[in-house]
Amino acid sequence: MRRALVVLLGLLGLLALVLVAPPAGAHEERESEFPPGDGSVPVHRTEREAADVLVVCKADSESRINQIANATVRNRNLRLLEQCEFRDLQAAVDAVTVQRTNIYLLPGVYRERPSWDAPCMEGYDGGVVSYELSHSCGEVVNLVTIPGDDPADDDIVCDGAVCNLQIEGTGASPEDVLFRGGFRKDGDWVKHNGIKADRADGFYLANMTLEQFRENAVYVHETDGYVVDRVVTRYNDLYGVLTFTSDHGLIQRCEAHHNGDSGIYPGSAADVNATNRKTGPLTRWAVEVRNCDMHHNALGFSGTAGNSVYVHDNRIHHNGVGFVVESILAGHPGMPQDHGWFSHNKIYSNNVNYYGNVAGDDAPCQEERPVDRGHQRGVVCPAFPLPVGTGGMMVGNHNYVDGNQVWNNYRQGFMLFWVPPALMREDYDPLHQTDNSNYNHFTRNKMGLTPAGEASPNGLDFWWDDAGIGNCWQDNEAAGGQKITHNATLGYLPNCKAPSLLPVSNLIKTTALLGCASYDRYSNPSPANCDWIVTPPKPTAESIAAAQAGADQGPDSPTVPIVLVAAGLLGAAALRLRTRRAAGR
């Protein structure tokens, strides 16, 4: 017993050293809070329903319009062209005088050159951007900024003219209106973000393509009520669409590809179900993501503190990992993650490995100048270590994963595991050491089965570290004549009538994840003993049997789980005491 305790304390110490620092590449953001939550999802407005209409066009818009085959769309654009007063979107945003304004972008390529070196940028030398600076000079990091709240008041509620603003491309398809950041003459990024809606309640963005930004193409922050509709986001170093501490969102009919982190990322979505102790279909969610195509990203969909996200009827395929919701990174309101609802998605072939782009001195992602890395040609530089070949990964609570079709993911269909919060996200409360991953339900999913009914197995259907209370798997379907495959140590996955009971993980499974924790895409792109960044081979009956056999590697003694809980609590208490003493000094 004493020897086991020493070993476990040593491992927890190793975890602290390796995992306490946030992963490289995490986006810096001001301290944020959730909006009041009394708003609603905005509804698309016609021209007649708008309080005012502003039109933006480029010098070659007319020639582009004349090439539109659809006569109705072409004639509408020619009519709007007669009303065009602006060459840049930011100029039109700055000219808005009344709420419920519609801004129309006619076909063209928008670079927003007045924002590149705006006079107000003088003196800014980097760092976190406050809302006050975003309001007065969003150009320091954004090509276009829509700031809705008066910084002089104490709330974060939109009260300016740009509230309920609708920005819409007028082309026949999203590709007709191209919003590009790109690179300066010195090879550096033009801007961090493309379009940022900041405390801009009622924001509606539609029918355009955005590409080539250092961080995010579309960014919605502290906003109550937003829609991103028929928008393509591609070739960005981090996210296609990022929303943060926002509520009443809808992202639909989108395409996100070749982004270095996630195609779609609703991080710290409003925690509207924080007190809801049930797992299952939600009646209230913070953001709905539907009918989108997420492919060829490091991650298709993700959300640190991705709370109350309703993700359904999407295609999530040919990424490194299909989707992730997790409770790992510090500084995200709403921890631990809870109440994701993933339903009727097609999650398949997430085996694309981009880590070859970062490993080696001659790897494209190691080029000093961003322009030389090839983002504009589809080169993806993964920001974090991820288990290539995984359909979905969860580190959270009350997630309801129901009715999805999941096939041909070489490593595993779904992965559920626990992290020690005191070490991962600077939460030192001993009572919080098992606050994830609990009460997650995986039901009625079709595993290893294509829509045509053909067998196309995952490496494992379910990978689980044996941790958590209330987790269950029920009524999941495998290909004809086959059984659901998994690595549960006890030899079976608990069903929902008798869900899991052990709050902490199988230690061997947990420590097996350590090898990837020191990944840094610049300084340590190939950590030792990290198999996540290696693509598994296409599953065979033999490889699947071997993966399931690994479940037998359980604790050597029945006392080990008890000791792990004790060690975790002692370690958390010590860290908390150390922090208090440091604060006192």
Q: What is the DSSP letter of 553?
A: -
Q: How many CB atoms are closer than 10 A to CB 276?
A: 16
**Distance of alpha carbon 349 from alpha carbon 584, whole angstroms:** 52
Residues contacting residue 396 through CB under 8 Å, at least 6 positions apart? 306, 325, 326, 327, 336, 337, 338, 340, 436, 437, 440
Q: How many CB atoms are closer than 10 A to CB 530?
A: 20
Closest to 398 measured CA to CA, from 368, 440, 453, 359: 440
Predicted confidence at residue 428, as pLDDT, reads 77
**Distance of alpha carbon 556 from alpha carbon 558, whole angstroms:** 7
Predicted confidence at residue 164, as pLDDT, reads 98
**Distance of alpha carbon 119 from alpha carbon 449, whole angstroms:** 57
Tell me the C-alpha to C-alpha distance, in Å, between residue 355 and each of 34, 70, 91, 298, 539.
35, 43, 40, 9, 21
From the centroid of its chain, how far is CA 372? 26
Closest to 508 measured CA to CA, from 445, 478, 550, 548: 550
Is residue 315 helix, strand or coil?
strand
Asked if 196 and 219 touch (Cβ cutoff 8 Å), the reply is: yes
**Distance of alpha carbon 46 from alpha carbon 477, whole angstroms:** 45
Print the SS3 string covering 382-435.
Answer: CCCCCCCCEEEEECCECCEEECCEEECCCCEEEEECCCCHHHHCCCCCHHHCCC
The structure tokens listed for 420 are: 């020690």
Helix (H), strand (E) at residue 506: none
Helix (H), strand (E) at residue 221: strand 216-221
**Distance of alpha carbon 247 from alpha carbon 34, whole angstroms:** 8
Predicted confidence at residue 425, as pLDDT, reads 66
**What is the secondary structure of 149-191 as a DSSP string?**
S-TTSSS----STTTT-EEEE-SSSGGGEEEE--B-TTSSBS-
Is residue 23 helix, strand or coil?
coil
As separate numbers, helices (DSSP H) first and strands (DSSP E) second, the chain gives: 9, 31
Predicted confidence at residue 20, as pLDDT, reads 38
In degrees and rounded to multiples of 5, residue 390 shows phi and psi of -115, 135
Predicted confidence at residue 433, as pLDDT, reads 82
**Distance of alpha carbon 93 from alpha carbon 97, whole angstroms:** 9
Predicted confidence at residue 420, as pLDDT, reads 80
Asked if 215 and 239 touch (Cβ cutoff 8 Å), the reply is: yes
Local mean pLDDT, 10-residue blocks, the chain (585 residues): 38 41 52 96 98 98 98 98 98 98 98 97 90 97 98 96 98 98 98 98 98 98 98 98 98 98 97 96 97 98 97 98 91 93 98 94 94 97 94 97 98 93 72 89 98 95 96 95 92 95 85 83 88 94 89 45 42 38 39
Find residue 143's DSSP bridge partners. Answer: none
Residue 125, CA atoms < 13 Å, CB-side half-sphere: 1
**Distance of alpha carbon 81 from alpha carbon 62, whole angstroms:** 7
Closest to 504 measured CA to CA, from 473, 466, 558, 463: 466
Tell me the C-alpha to C-alpha distance, in Å, between residue 200 and each of 146, 147, 241, 435.
6, 6, 16, 33
